[in-house]
Amino acid sequence: MYRCRESSTRKMQLYRHHERSYPRIPPMCLVPLPPEGYKTPVPWPDSKLKIFYGNVEHPKLASFIKTQTWLMQSEEYLTFPSNQSEWKGRVLHYLDFIEEMVPDIEWGKNIRVVLDLGCMDSSFGATLLDKDVLALSLGLKDDLTDLAQIALERGFPAVVSHFGTRRLPFPSGVFDVIHCGECSIPWHSNGGRLLLEINRILRPGGYFILSKKHDSIEEEQEMLDLTASICFNILAHKTDEISDLGVKVYQKPDNNAIYELRRKKHPPLCKENEKPDAAWYVPMKTCLHTIPASIEQRGTEWPEEWPKRLEKFPEWLGNTENLAKDTEHWKAVVEKSYLVGLGINWSNVRNILDMKAIYGGNKMTTFGAPLPVIYERGLLGVYHDWCESFGSYPRSYDLLHADHLFSRLRNRKRSQLFEDNYKLINRKHLKLLPENMEEIIIAVDP
């Protein structure tokens, strides 16, 4: 193998914000070494308040920092003052304001998994984490400041994806709350397909929260018409006097009756063969998926309050024996092998990528499948094909966990693509690969 040329690296950077696409003939070259000035990331929990600026530095970010108060450059560090945020009055006040508007939004109890669109301020996810809420920041590929990279460097969940023509890499009806703060997404364009995609991944009865300082009368009316057409109920609309933000809280219907009462059947209901969970390379649709109605279907009931939902197996799963066995299996593996027998200093491990998570039984899970079960338990995940590049940044993870993944990548070229992928996103190139439970392999690359 040979090292990638400088020109090739530049081209990759120029196209890094485009939709994912992998060449038919994969590049057989080594991932470039970390840039000059890169340092081992600040360990958790100190990374909540500061990270090494050189690890995320680039010209667009430098310009962005000068206009913000929630992050500042201090010598070699990028710091995050605890009394500052994108929202005037701090994030905690913002969250309390939302909960006062809609008391049913009980952060950390009724609400556990949140999708934050645009990743404007990673302090939003940090504050939610203090309330036992997992917020997945979705960095958009047209974000030239790469704020999702900052979130990952701080130790918070984040992925990067294009949000325009294809479905997001999530199952249907899994997020308790979807939040879009100060974002400029054109919801009403292209038949409202972006909002219809939000509707697809939002849990029945879930909340869509929008906050913005100023909306034109025309934009206000377009959004009003669009949300009414998909039967979103406006639970609250109020301007916070401290932040000067207009906050709207919408709720998705929890049954299909209201869809039948629409005077105009636009957007139409999706056809039965339109699978709501299909998300990999699937174009966004301009139709409404029906709400699950049968008790055997996922989404008919809201999950248990956190933390009960982690151990409460959903009835729609049917046979829960496999899930219970998986939970006990991974509990034993983690406690008896991973934590004590592998020589890993777990105090230095924060960002873990579980590359084939099944039910999330090992509790280190952040990504995997079958995803609906993982979300139902209050964890996070995304769909991904490991023969393609992952939606993240170089050196984002401390540890990659792959259970019986290599054995499924039998094609030599595909295995090489996977290896290039993990080297790119892993910080210390530490891979933990239990291909079978008789032999655990630890490999550290130079």
Q: pLDDT confidence of 361, banded at 50, 70, 90?
A: low
What pTM was computed for the model?
A: 0.88
Q: What string of DSSP letters covers 203-222?
A: EEEEEEEEEES---HHHHHH
- H helices within 43-188, ranges in order? 59-65, 90-101, 123-130, 147-154
Burial (CB count within 10 angstroms: exposed 0-12, middle 13-18, buried 19+), residue 343? exposed
Interatomic CA distance for residues 278 and 283, integer angstroms = 10
Which DSSP category does 407 fall into?
A: G
Q: Per the structure block, which two tokens stand in for 12? A: 């990759």
The stretch 19-24 carries a mean pLDDT of 55
pLDDT of residue 11: 35
Whether 342 has a pLDDT exceeding 60, the answer reads yes
Run of H or E residues at 326: helix 321-333
pLDDT digits (tens, 9 = 90+) for 90-127: 889 999 999 999 999 999 999 999 999 987 778 899 99
The stretch 404-428 carries a mean pLDDT of 63
Whether 417 has a pLDDT exceeding 80, the answer reads no
pLDDT of residue 440: 46
pLDDT of residue 408: 67
In the three-class reduction of DSSP (H, G, I as helix; E, B as strand; rest coil), residue 84 is classed as coil
| 242 contact partners, CB below 8 Å, separation of at least 6 | 88, 89, 93
pLDDT of residue 314: 78
Q: What string of DSSP letters covers 248-264?
A: EEEE--SSSHHHHT-SS
Interatomic CA distance for residues 95 and 100, integer angstroms = 9
User: In degrees rounded to 5, what are phi and psi of residue 114?
Assistant: -130, 140
Whether 15 has a pLDDT exceeding 60, the answer reads no
For CA atoms 249, 250, 255, 261, the dihedral sign is positive
pLDDT of residue 439: 47
Among 187-191, 307-311, 410-414, 440-444, the range scoring the smallest mean pLDDT is: 440-444
Q: pLDDT confidence of 8, banded at 50, 70, 90?
A: very low
Dihedral (C-alpha) 196, 197, 201, 205: value to the nearest 10 degrees? -20
Question: Of all residues in the chain, what percent carry a pLDDT higher than 70?
Answer: 81
**Residue bearing the bigger pLDDT, 214 or 111:** 111
pLDDT of residue 216: 80
The stretch 402-429 carries a mean pLDDT of 64
Q: pLDDT confidence of 446, banded at 50, 70, 90?
A: very low
pLDDT of residue 317: 78
Whether 1 has a pLDDT exceeding 50, the answer reads no
Q: pLDDT confidence of 179, banded at 50, 70, 90?
A: very high
Q: Per the structure block, which two tokens stand in for 265? A: 């059947």
> Please, are residues 310 and 377 in contact by the beta-carbon 8 Å criterion?
yes
Which DSSP category does 442 fall into?
A: E
The stretch 53-82 carries a mean pLDDT of 90
Most confident of 12-16, 37-41, 172-176: 172-176
Most confident of 163-167, 252-256, 370-374: 252-256
Whether 85 has a pLDDT exceeding 70, the answer reads yes
Interatomic CA distance for residues 27 and 392, integer angstroms = 19
Cα–Cα distances (Å) from 366 to 111, 147, 329, 333, 400, in that order, read 18, 19, 18, 17, 11
- Give per-residue burial for 413-435: e unless 16+ CB within 10 Å, then b: ebbbbbbbbbbbbbbeebbbbbe
| 446 contact partners, CB below 8 Å, separation of at least 6 | 429
Mean pLDDT, all residues of the chain:
83
